[in-house]
Chains A and B, each alone.
Chain A
């Protein structure tokens, strides 16, 4: 069984940050990179499926610059068999549809039984790349999966889709398919120091657009949007901050509680 896990190295913004000189992006000095929280869960789901099957291959795939290598190594350390990183300078600032186009070329080459993505990334929060990818590959897909049971005999995944309002839908889908995985589905494992060291010995391919048979023009055709500007949001009035000691704050809150709940 071959599972491709599409992962993302996400940037966390320091409290203090600056925009680049042309205000088109955040100055990279203020970014900290990590494996996207959702992808830890989808990788774990893939590893558990491989363990249950007793065989198989888990491939970690990412579109990202050199900064993203760490996240990929993290996946390899946790148990992915192979890593693939795709990058081209033209991919800087790429939107979900452009990324999905690039991923589609890579996934097509892998021809997996299952593709797992996170529901969303913590920095861009588009919640779209996975399903866009499914659309391009014409794969059966389910988004926002909170539990996953796989029956190899029928190649069927029985999943729960997490809906608004605490409702859950149970449905089944036949593989090949693409699922976007929600946090809390499992307990992601940690990698030991040995595994981290050995991760560097696992295959990690770095490729550009040309290697996938794509051109910059293809990206332009695929892109769904273009950034016009990046702005710091107007906070509005925000909260009236209570000052003083904890005692004084509690006193004020108690007053408010009594007022508001009469």
Chain B
């Protein structure tokens, strides 16, 4: 299909310094857990986007010197020739597909604790970091300033050598250049502190020095948080924000705007439950619209909708559409728009699972929507290419159309299986996503800070995308309202049976903290509920509610938000140090806490229930169980253990002879039915099984490439040899 002309503007090239971007799709710097020490992952993840049509792809934050070390979080590094060689792999791959390569030169100052290098970070003033471990920097005198600026220059020279086209001096997320600019960090009284010009001096000088070193060959970019969101205490867009842009406009070829800092960078990488698409616009649009720049501007805001992209450029908000998460979710977004295949676009759902793995520090990235994110090199998976399965003449029955089942059936379909039946007992496809996506609302009012609890509605895109893809696959049939008994499964005529029947919440209070039920817990009673029952709304819920959250992610707190928003008095009890631990990693925690506080929800961490009675819950402090507490409540919501619904799997497995007689060659179990987990992992589980369904033992994941030092001489061939299933490896 030809491109709809209304999207032509997105494909117009644009000049940035000495370089040209071939279109307006730009992957801004973002973390993936690869850095310079997993060059294969780095090159192939970025390369996938270039193949998909993105005009430029950038590294994550790239340390210019061992003094900028964020371990265990993974940054890239460009300290030496070895790093040059490793990052050159990324540049080469991007260039192969006609994309520009960008590197975000980073010096973190006190925000980077140097746990690996054990160096001492420097900063403009001895002000402790407001992020994580409150590290102190060493005060930078003039010599230190020269030294650090030289680090930028040396890094830029190495970057050019590696083949980078766009070189950033990175000051967004409150890293070093921004620390000089902002009085929140900068208490100096010399020519690098005090007045605006003084505070801007370090950043401007760094830009000039880098420009002098490589500016003829490379585009000089700067990532700048136009508003720190701290009011007059720091940079405000209407004041120093636009002033800084004007001040450095002449030495920058490309502006990359964000808001906020690193301490709460969820204001920039806004999760969908609190931030809508293009949520940074109120701040970032002021620069171009206020005529404060003559240079091209790229910006972000979890922009997924092509029509929004067009509107952004036409309205003069940005010149270039920046994306991190939308490019992870669909590396082929530009190509799909170009080919008029809008319904094939896999839209980002804003869950921030990708970010969470970097926040945890160490694990490779993941993506709920795109199971191949992070697997491009180590497993050779391509999001748009699927090798026909060697056993594709076998009929496959997938039981359960939740995230795992849908994904598995879809990939099997794309692998040219002759007949895949995805059979779902309820009348809808989508499984748990259908009710989970209804959570995340509270009372719809403005939060104390920006945004409001707008719900998890975008998570429904998990279902939308797969429903459309399954509908297009002629070899896949989706049966709804069809609940199969074991007998029906045995007689179905499938050679391969995949059980994806999900899980249910424990009703007796069985939990991860004590590994035992709770006395008096019984969600079959009408005044006790499991989270799904809260959403279903069939049980009346009394005024005072206690939510027991032993699950460390969004479920318990989302239920609390909903009930508090509807006017209930809510207490959340958790044995953990704090509620919703995983939401720290997804950057959803600060807004969640603000919402819960605003709603008057009472949070009781490090507390566990020992007995539930009508009207009263008895609790104790986990550090001293004799320290008791009681909560007088009308209803109790038990967000405790989940239990796999795997009965059909066990029954099928129990009679091998029968399976053989019916011609069933294999029975697998995936997703929550195998082990309750996060949606991102269920989708991955279904995807992996389908990708490896024709390997000798599909149940056991095939080895993947581990990018590690091999003792003695080693080359890339040694890494490729780690993969057993080279048939499905499109790119390695």
Contact = CB atoms under 8 A, between A and B. Distances in A.
Q: Taking the complex as a whole, does A directly touch B, i.e. does some CB pair lie under 8 Å apart?
A: yes
Interface of A: 15-16, 187, 190, 192-197, 243-248
B481 A194 contact: no
Interface string B480-498: 0110000010011110000
A194 B278 CA distance: 50
B307 interface: yes
B126 to A, nearest CB: 43
A243 B421 contact: no
A190 B278 CA distance: 44
B276 interface: yes
Given A192-B492, A243-B310, A245-B277, 11 more contacts: A16-B340, A190-B482, A192-B421, A192-B488, A193-B419, A193-B494, A196-B493, A197-B395, A245-B305, A246-B277, A246-B305
Q: Which of A194, A245, A248 has the most CB of B within 10 A?
A: A245
Interface residues of B, number: 24
Nearest to A192: B492
> Which 5 residue pairs across A and B have the least CB separation, nearest first?
A194-B493, A193-B493, A193-B395, A190-B479, A244-B311
Contacts of A192: 421, 488, 491-493
B481 A197 contact: no
A194 B492 contact: yes
B421 A193 contact: yes
Nearest to A242: B307
B294 interface: no
Q: Which of A190, A192, A247, A248 has the most CB of B within 10 A?
A: A192
A195 B492 CA distance: 8
Contacts of B421: 190, 192-193
Nearest to B474: A32
Contact of B493 (A187, A195, A245, A246): A195
A193 B492 contact: yes
Contacts of B397: 193
A244 B306 CA distance: 10
Nearest to B310: A243
Contact of B308 (A193, A197, A244): A244
Interface string B236-277: 000000000000000000000000000000000000000011
B278 to A, nearest CB: 5
A121 to B, nearest CB: 20
Contacts of B419: 193, 196
A68 to B, nearest CB: 16
A193 B495 CA distance: 10
Interface in B410-460: 419, 421, 423
B661 interface: no
Contacts of B477: 190
B308 A245 contact: yes
B333 to A, nearest CB: 17
A255 B542 CA distance: 38
A194 to B, nearest CB: 3
B710 interface: no
11 contacts: A16-B340, A187-B481, A192-B488, A194-B492, A194-B493, A243-B310, A244-B311, A245-B305, A245-B311, A246-B277, A247-B276
A196 B305 CA distance: 41
Q: Which of A187, A244, A248 has the most CB of B within 10 A?
A: A244
Interface in B462-514: 477, 479, 481-482, 488, 491-494
B573 to A, nearest CB: 36
Contacts of B488: 192
